[in-house]
Amino acid sequence: MIALIGASGRSGAALARALLAEGTPFTPVVRDSAKWAALGLSLAPRIADLGDAAALRAALEGAALVISTAHARHAPAILAAAPADARFVLMGSTRRYSRWADAHGDGVRAGEAALLASGRAGVMLHPTMVYGAQGEDNVQRLAALLRRLPFAPLPGGGRSLVQPIHQSDVTRALLAAARHPWTGPEAMVIAGPEPMPYREFRPPWCALRGLARARCCRCRLGCCVAWRGARASSRACLPLALMKFAA
């Protein structure tokens, strides 16, 4: 039996639809039965909060493969609740490589460490920035910003590389991982076909804002920097690249 944890979320729902389309039986494991019912998918779910060890153990009973699209910080609880011979496909995030203070990234690192230390057969997939899912908030947040502003800031001139991955490719990666005969714990990154400068990721922004073209320019903006513990702030004039839009 395949247990799909997080089946009512963005990536989970996309995977649930793909499994149904190919005729692969699975059991959705969700926290909110109403949210699952709203998807209009026909399977009866098992209900479990990932913080409730007993409920999660009951929901995963009989599972030979556990797929989780929930946050990677829940990996220790999932590993503890699953049957002893179960295999795992868990979703992480490339935020695990963040060098900044980041609770999300800390949770992913902890989840990955738990899987690798467990010796259990399976993989944690770390997607880059995911776009194209219903309800995703990466490109959507940029679009919301551009509905209010005639420009978008491009730190570092927009030269930093990004390698976004479409939700459909995330789904394909999850399906491939589910079929792979893992013999031990692994972790790997999944990404789009090639890296691109952040400034070249602008076409989706323009399309979402209904704009025909965009151009980059450099300007100097007064930027207030407040030092921790100081009452006053210092003002510095910093160069910044902006993406300006035209209808």
pLDDT per residue over 132-144, tens digit each? 766 556 666 666 6
3-state helix, strand, coil in the chain (%, to 5): 40, 30, 35
- Burial level of 172, CB count in 10 A (0-12/13-18/19+)? middle
Q: What are the residue ranges spanned by the domains of the chain?
A: 2-136+163-194
pLDDT per residue over 165-174, tens digit each? 888 999 999 9
117 membership: H or E segment, kind and range:
helix 103-118
Backbone φ and ψ of 193, nearest 5°: -65, -30
Bridge pairing between strands 65-68 and 87-91: parallel
Higher pLDDT pick, 192 / 18: 18
- Alpha-carbon distance of 172 to 177, in angstroms, equals 9
- Domain 2-136+163-194 CATH superfamily: NAD(P)-binding Rossmann-like Domain (3.40.50.720)
Say yes or no to pLDDT of 209 above 90.
no
